[in-house]
Amino acid sequence: MRNRHLCTKVENHPCKRPFGVKILLKNALLILLLGFCYNAQAQEQGTAQRIITLGPDVTEIVYALGSSDKIVALDRSSKYPADTANKTNVGYRRSLSAEGVLALHPDLIIASEDIGPPEVADVLNQSGVPVLYIPAINSREGLITKVSMIAERLNLQAQGEVLTKQIIADFDAAMVHVRKVSEGRGKKVVFFHGLTKLSGAGSDTAADAFIRHAGGVNPLSVYKGYKAVSEEWLLEAEPDVVLMLSDGAGGPKPEDVFSVKALQTTPAAKSKSLIVLDGPYMLGFGPRTAEAVRILADALYGQ
């Protein structure tokens, strides 16, 4: 059953599609048979020694479980803990090279479900290397699910239970803190990926979940995903705070953000309320999420 479970994860991945590459058409049956046998043996023996992690939350969980020594490569967003800088980097997880990943001879790939592009995910799925996809569920329960899946696959159930208990304790304590500091003061918070197109986070995004967990209200949650936000929308939304990711060079700065015409008349501009946080820390929904939620809540409500 466990072997079938892992295979199902690959089959149900959103990037899965009929092969369009000639070589894959020619060898599809052989690859599937080899992949199944390989996956079954790896699952049965639990002997993964060369792991590639794709996603900051995935990488942090593997580190927290004590298996960092088995990570041979990771993606560009995996920057915590500091030791990740010593690992081989395979690039941005949504623009991967199948050749670059497979050339490292992994015996297990643990990946966020949004890796890509789709044709690369297809090749990895049929390569014979086990791929465990981790769902992007932006909640305490989702984080527990991630830990459970990875711990089970690595035969580290005991370590997974310890980590889960710590996450539950941290998360519950953070929620008590958030309710205390934000009671009756729910501020409107908007998140932008960048200033050029003002791509704002709606519902069903990690940013939206993070804002809500920290006691904020996302006025852009009337739509799903990320969309370019017009000046008219922002006038109606009336955000109190703008939340953005660090550019790694000390920015963005309030003078840059609030010089954008669409933001100039917002309440956030009048009070110069800009909060800048580290991207993977804020949006990864990994083991440090409770700490990040506390930090945002305190930044929002003056603690």
What residue ranges define each of the domains in the chain, with the CATH number in brackets?
51-134 (3.40.50.1980), 184-302 (3.40.50.1980)
Phi, psi of 36 (to 5 degrees): -65, -45
Tokens of 92: 């941005």
Higher pLDDT, 7 or 133: 133
Sign for the CA dihedral angle at 110, 116, 122, 127 comes to: negative
Percent of the chain with pLDDT over 70: 84
- The per-residue pLDDT for 246 is 87
Collapsing DSSP to helix, strand or coil, 37 comes out as helix
- The per-residue pLDDT for 120 is 96
In angstroms, what is the C-alpha Rg of the chain? 21
Identity of the amino acid at 94? R
Question: Taking a C-beta distance cutoff of 8 angstroms, is the pair 148, 168 a contact?
Answer: no
- The per-residue pLDDT for 303 is 63
Measure the N-to-C terminal CA separation of the chain; round to a whole number of Å: 50
For 95-107, how does the pLDDT look when each residue is reduced to its tens digit (9 = 90+)? Answer: 999 999 999 999 9
For 246-267, how does the pLDDT look when each residue is reduced to its tens digit (9 = 90+)? Answer: 888 888 999 999 999 999 999 9
Within 10 angstroms of residue 209's Cβ, the number of other Cβ atoms is 22
Tokens of 39: 């996956």
- The per-residue pLDDT for 8 is 33
Name the residue among 214, 287, 244, 211 with its Cα closest to residue 57.
Answer: 287
Q: How far is it between the farthest Cα atoms of the chain?
A: 64
Q: Compute the average pLDDT of residues 208-219.
A: 96
Query: CB within 8 A of 273, min separation 6: which ones?
Result: 240, 241, 242, 267
For 162-183, how does the pLDDT look when each residue is reduced to its tens digit (9 = 90+)? Answer: 999 999 999 999 999 999 999 9
Residue that the structure tokens 């079954």 belong to: 40
Band of the pLDDT at 23, cuts 50, 70, 90? very low
Q: How far lies 178's CA from each of 205, 270, 288, 294, in Å?
A: 20, 25, 16, 7
The full DSSP string for 45-83 is HT---SEEEESHHHHHHHHHTT-GGGEEEE-TT---SGG
Q: Which of 23-27, 143-147, 197-201 has the highest mean pLDDT?
A: 143-147
Percent of the chain with pLDDT over 90: 74
H-type helices in 52-182, by residue range? 56-64, 98-102, 118-125, 140-153, 157-182
**DSSP category for residue 261:** G
For 148-160, how does the pLDDT look when each residue is reduced to its tens digit (9 = 90+)? Answer: 999 999 999 999 9
Collapsing DSSP to helix, strand or coil, 130 comes out as coil
Q: Which residues of 152-180 are buried (b: 16+ CB within 10 A; e: fewer)?
A: bbbebeebbebbbeebeebbeebbebbee
